[in-house]
Amino acid sequence: MHPILHLVFLHALIWSLLSTASIGLQSDIDCLKSIKHSLEDPYGYLTATWDFNNNTDGFICRFTGVECWSPDENKVLNIQLSGMGLKGQFPRGISGCSSLTGLDLSNNELFGPIPSDISRILPFSTTLKLSSNNFSGEIPKSLANCTYLNVLNLDHNQLTGHIPPGIGLLRRLRTFTVANNLLYGPVPNFLNDISSDSFANNPGLCGSPLDPCKSTSISDTFKKGFVVSYAVSAFLVITIFISKKKKSKVPMQFQLHKLLQKKNERKQAQHMKKMPYVEFLHEESPEISVLVKLVSRLSYTEINEATNYFKQENIIGIGQMGTTYKALLPNGLLLAVKRLHDTHLFDEHFITELKTLGRLRHENLVPLLGFCIHSKEKLLVYKYMSKGSLYDWLHPEEGEARIMEWPIRVKIAIGAATGLVWLHQGCDFHVFHLAISSKCILLDENFVPKLSNFGEAMLVKPYGTDSTETFSLNTEFWESSFTKEDVYCFGILLLELITREDPRSMTTYSDTSYEPLNNWVTHLSTSSNFYSIVDKSLMGQGFDQEIFQFLKVALDCVQPYPDQRPTMLQLYKKLAAIGKRHGLSTDSEVLTHHGETSTLQRDECNEDEIVEV
């Protein structure tokens, strides 16, 4: 998902939490009282304005350095106490500000360790700035559980030890710095680019983007750990190696077991306990045998030859997870083979894709036909979509003319909405894509849209069911939040269909606001500027009123607060009303799709499926 949309979802998610949770405002007042009492304030910044002898609505929102969700509500959004000369240890009472998303204590004289349970104290933090203090001890491993972090500044302190590897797995983290500390050991792999300046003046740190680690500079403890890790890794590589000519001596269940095990370990490191998931891996987990039955295991030799040994001319797409190749089988059947990047970071995506597309069959989902694990290679095999991605049609290469008429765009929007409605409401378990974009919508020869790229999807067992699915929720909150993220992204997609503009160029965002896009769309829908942003190829074709209606639907989708957005089913009905003018879907059709799930034979191969040779 684009970083902007992650930020949008984050704030929308937390606002939804505030609107549904019953948390007393007194806790925020007590939180600020605790901060004031626990810190020495030599320059009187807090003393001057932090007056608690006041019972008016939102009185704490007028305190220096305090920002509230609403000016007349005592619910704290951000605390910014930078450069006030405050002294003391980290104020643990800050946990009482249960809706806090940003904390800046930089440029003070705070000392002692950063709390080991920092993720419990700041569970929803997007920004944590502790730079230029005297914090000591190790960086808490639990920071890896603060999954909403966008900014983490720990530079100019006296921190020691290693950088916890789990921090590198924070998908939303864009700014990270630990410069000028006493850290040592290898720099973890980060999902997002972090510059070498972020690690400067830590003589013991090594590894990309710094100088390579040398065995002579690593402590004995680290040497031993590395030797053990290397031995285990070598064992796993040997045991999961699949011979090119012979059947594997190691069952596929064992290989998937290892990948699933790694996935669970990383999820645990990312504090997935914050969402009530159910661990599904056991020594003899039925989950693994189910995975093997859902999709066919394919021969690496066959795939290798079908892609002409993964030659560059067969590349049809390059994404974050890996590169997709066109594959031609001897019988003339075309396939699309996604070759995941050679890193354990995508093991989770591999398993999620198997668990999602492997068990679902729907007209608007791209069919997953098989998979292959060969040494370090992980391959996913799909039915080939001859028209490519919607993104390629809306944003062709320079000099490439691609015309997409308005009725086709309506058809694509309705089809994508149909697929999402079915995922959200029609399955035995609910699925949330969480990364909807024009790049993940593939088109078949008839321009029927197929949702793909389920690497970030969330599978949810409806609360109160007896299903043994992977995830289980005991509240409706998270499910509602996931739904509304998909709705927001779908709104971006509608805007893209109307304007043919790349989503990133539609508007600009600040680091703390998620309303500009909504304001921009509102402006366009109420002014003559509407015609200036519509794709010129659509104008004068007699569809102006329909396009304007689409814009209104998109506006509903990108409302800043989730509870203001419609459900996907409501969106589908609005789009279907437009589609009827072009002879497209009806409500009964999408409801029929809903009913198919219970009778669907998910472990049954379709006519295009291939078995291992």
Q: Which residues are annotated as a binding site for ATP?
A: 338
**Phi first, then psi: what are they for 542, rounded to 5°?**
90, 15
Beta-carbon count within 10 A of 10 CB: 21
The identity of residue 465, as a single letter, is T
Between CA 551 and CA 506 the distance in angstroms is: 14
Number of residues written out for the chain: 613
Rounded to 10°, the helix 544-557/516-525 angle is 150
DSSP letter at 199? G
3-class DSSP assignment, residue 348: helix
Beta-carbon count within 10 A of 85 CB: 14
Answer whether the bond into residue 164 is a cis peptide, omega within 30°. Answer: no
Give the tokens for residue 142: 């639990």
> Please, are residues 160 and 183 in contact by the beta-carbon 8 Å criterion?
yes
CB-count exposure of residue 607 (10 Å: 0-12, 13-18, 19+): exposed
Between CA 74 and CA 54 the distance in angstroms is: 12
- β-pairing verdict for 377-383 and 368-374: antiparallel
CB-count exposure of residue 237 (10 Å: 0-12, 13-18, 19+): exposed
> Please, are residues 83 and 39 in contact by the beta-carbon 8 Å criterion?
no
- Where would I find the H helices in 195-310? 220-239, 252-269, 286-294, 300-306
DSSP letter at 277? B
DSSP letter at 461? B
Distances (CA, A) of 514 to 16, 131, 508: 14, 26, 10
Residue ranges of the binding site: 338
Rounded to 10°, the helix 286-294/347-357 angle is 70
Beta-carbon count within 10 A of 540 CB: 8
Beta-carbon count within 10 A of 61 CB: 19
